[in-house]
Amino acid sequence: MQDLLNSALQAIENANNSNELKEIEIKYLGKKGLITEQLKTLKDLSEEDKRTTGKAIQEIKQKFLSAYQKKASQLEIEEINSKLTAEFFDITLPRLNKINHSKKGTIHPLNQLQQQVEEIFSDMGFEIADGPEVESEYYNFEALNIPSHHPARDMQDTFFIENKADPKHGELILRTHTSPVQIRTMELKGAPLRIIVPGRVFRYEATDATHDSTFNQVEGLLIDKNIGLADLKGIMEEFLSRLFEKDITVRFRPGYFPFVEPGLELDILWQKGKNGQSDKWLEFMGAGMVHPNVLKAGGIDPENNQGWAFGFGITRLAMIKYQIADIRQIHNSDLRFLKQF
């Protein structure tokens, strides 16, 4: 038995890795292992011999196990260390040239522009607000002073969600503009307010180079005391000048939107007319002083508060800023288009 122990300890000592060690354990302590076999012989011995031999075998087993454990943890440490050396990855090494850099992604031009717009308005103290794309007729029209059968509903051809009317808020639709978020934010936060709302809007219309059924708008809303249109003009000139990185002049023209009174359109002076030719103006957005009915719908007292709102197409702005000729390129994910940004 002493020989058995010596050969076992020798084998443990010589094991090169944990797999070999595992096999040694099976060889000695497995179901048919050499030490196990010794235990099986006990049943044929006398009571007296059983006790002494049994004790001796148990001692051998204990010695085997403690040598085994010691070797196992030593091998484990060795194996972790060699793995760490083999798999060491130097993150400070310069990149390999064989990586194909043309596969690197870029941020979509629309998102780039939206980030810029958010940044500029945030600097001017505006918060970014948000609302659902699936909207109710109430928020999209009613609360914005556009009752049913109002001709303005036909100006914005609408996608309806089938069989989703509810008695309080009317049919469920895809929002046709970001203006419903005016009402939702008034309800949520009350006056004063200074927000912009970038978001996706949907119109049921035929698609061509300048019309898409999905596009992006930015709504603006400022409510406080003693607010006038001069503030709007100043803020828009500041915003546009920062965005286009040059001084921009704007002008107001009268316009009609049911949710503002007076309503107006804002144009950008795009090119000064030379040699007696007239100036070139770009229509940019709708705006106006928020209609008292809209303030009331949002739970704000029109006697003590006033403000203005605006809405522009950020898709259209992207087309102007990046000189994109066809609006359909913006959403068709053509890599030849996207790689340019």
Contact window for ligand DAH (CB under 6 A) among 60-68, 222-230, 267-275, 280-288: 280-288
Minimum separation from the CB atom of position 106 to ligand DAH (A): 29
For residues 38 and 140, which CB has a smaller minimum distance to ligand DAH in the complex? 140
Minimum separation from the CB atom of position 311 to ligand DAH (A): 3
Residue 243: partners with Cβ closer than 8 Å, 6 or more residues away: 116, 117, 120, 317, 321
Q: What are phi and psi of 113, to 5 degrees?
A: -65, -40
Residue 193: partners with Cβ closer than 8 Å, 6 or more residues away: 185, 186, 221, 222, 223, 224, 307
Interatomic CA distance for residues 200 and 217, integer angstroms? 6
| CB neighbours of residue 60 within 10 Å | 19
Residues 113-142 that bind ligand DAH (CB under 6 A): none
- Would you list the DSSP string of 27-86? HHHSTT-HHHHHHHHGGGS-HHHHHHHHHHHHHHHHHHHHHHHHHHHHHHHHHHHHHHHH
- Contact string 149-188 vs ligand DAH (x = CB under 6 A): ----------------------------x-x---------
Minimum separation from the CB atom of position 163 to ligand DAH (A): 26
- Would you list the DSSP string of 166-177? BTTTB-EEE-SS
Using CB under 6 A as the binding rule, whether residue 284 contacts ligand DAH is answered as no
Minimum separation from the CB atom of position 257 to ligand DAH (A): 4
Q: How many residues at the interface with ligand DAH, by CB under 6 A?
A: 11
| CB neighbours of residue 152 within 10 Å | 15
Q: What are phi and psi of 95, to 5 degrees?
A: -70, 160
For residues 60 and 197, which CB has a smaller minimum distance to ligand DAH in the complex? 197
Helix (H) or strand (E) holding 264: strand 260-271
For residues 5 and 181, which CB has a smaller minimum distance to ligand DAH in the complex? 181
Question: Residue from 310, 316, 317, 318 that binds ligand DAH (CB under 6 A)?
Answer: 310
Using CB under 6 A as the binding rule, whether residue 286 contacts ligand DAH is answered as yes
Using CB under 6 A as the binding rule, whether residue 307 contacts ligand DAH is answered as no
Contact window for ligand DAH (CB under 6 A) among 47-55, 96-104, 159-167, 283-291: 283-291
Minimum separation from the CB atom of position 177 to ligand DAH (A): 3
Contact window for ligand DAH (CB under 6 A) among 19-27, 113-121, 133-141, 286-294: 286-294
Using CB under 6 A as the binding rule, whether residue 311 contacts ligand DAH is answered as yes
Question: Residue from 143, 236, 309, 324 that binds ligand DAH (CB under 6 A)?
Answer: 309
- Long-range pairs for 27-35: beta carbons < 8 A, 24 or more residues apart: 28/64, 29/61, 29/64, 29/65, 34/4, 34/8, 35/4, 35/8, 35/60, 35/61, 35/64
Residues 209-248 that bind ligand DAH (CB under 6 A): 219
Minimum separation from the CB atom of position 300 to ligand DAH (A): 15
- Are 61 and 14 a contacting pair, CB within 8 Å? no
Minimum separation from the CB atom of position 313 to ligand DAH (A): 8
Interatomic CA distance for residues 8 and 12, integer angstroms? 6
Residues that bind ligand DAH (CB under 6 A): 177, 179, 219, 257, 260, 286-288, 309-311
